[in-house]
């Protein structure tokens, strides 16, 4: 009896990738979120940007992008001078929602483009950027959070523990709250520029 041999796995086409609609303008607070909010062809590139502390605001690489472009939108204003110079090689900054952004675009010509092709090009681009200080992680004092949650500033009944239970990470030394422990570690990491 002869064994049936299967050939190499068939590459996934971009036309088979469904859009993730709820990801636009959601701040990523942990690296693990990237796989949930970013479509598969751009996950590795967005993880590289995360590791380099470059803020991604939006991305798209799915069947709706065929005959247009896959893209990653970066926050230009939060980049180091070196990364801003690199970003300008791909696109001029534009004003968007009160900040300057840069679109990294990868053409998708036809339905035969594979996920791997887009992934490879996006990773190649992301690897050109340098690791920088994370400047875009929001930080809050307890007074600021009380104001955001419309709690009376003198109301001591909702203190540090209450906001930690809400999901914030609290740094005892600086007395500041962060959206996650990962944000805290990345924002306070020493980086030589």
User: Does 3 have pLDDT greater than 80?
Assistant: no
For 21-45, what is each residue's pLDDT tens digit? 875 668 899 999 999 999 999 999 9
- What's the first-to-final CA gap in the chain, in angstroms? 64
Burial 74-107 (b: 16+ CB within 10 A, else e): bbbebbbeebbebbeeebebeebeeebbbbbbbe
Q: What is the pLDDT of residue 191?
A: 85
All structural domains of the chain with their residue ranges: 14-126, 139-188
For 72-104, what is each residue's pLDDT tens digit? 999 999 999 999 999 999 999 999 888 999 999
Q: Region 105-129: what's the mean pLDDT?
A: 97
39 vs 61: CA distance, rounded Å: 6
Helices (H) and strands (E) in the chain, counts: 7, 7
Query: Residue for token digits 């065929």?
Result: 66
Please state, for a pLDDT cut of 70, what percent of the chain lies above it.
Answer: 94
């Amino acid at each position: 009896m002869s064994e049936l041999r299967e050939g190499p796995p068939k590459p996934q086409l971009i036309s088979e990738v469904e859009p993730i609609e709820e990801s636009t303008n959601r701040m990523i607070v942990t690296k693990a979120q990237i796989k949930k909010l970013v479509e598969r062809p751009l996950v590795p590139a967005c993880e590289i940007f995360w590791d380099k502390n470059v803020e991604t605001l939006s991305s798209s690489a799915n069947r709706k992008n065929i005959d247009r472009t896959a893209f990653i939108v970066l926050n230009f204003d939060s980049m180091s001078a070196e990364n801003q110079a690199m970003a300008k090689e791909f696109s001029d900054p534009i004003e968007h929602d009160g900040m300057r952004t840069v679109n990294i675009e990868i053409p998708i010509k036809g339905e035969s483009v594979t996920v791997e092709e887009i992934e490879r090009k996006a990773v190649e681009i992301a690897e050109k950027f340098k690791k920088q200080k994370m400047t875009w992680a929001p930080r809050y004092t307890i007074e600021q959070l009380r104001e955001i949650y419309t709690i009376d500033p003198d109301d001591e009944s909702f203190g540090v523990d209450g906001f930690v239970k809400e999901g914030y990470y609290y740094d005892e030394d600086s007395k500041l709250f962060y959206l996650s422990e990962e944000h805290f570690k990345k924002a306070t990491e020493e980086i030589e520029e």
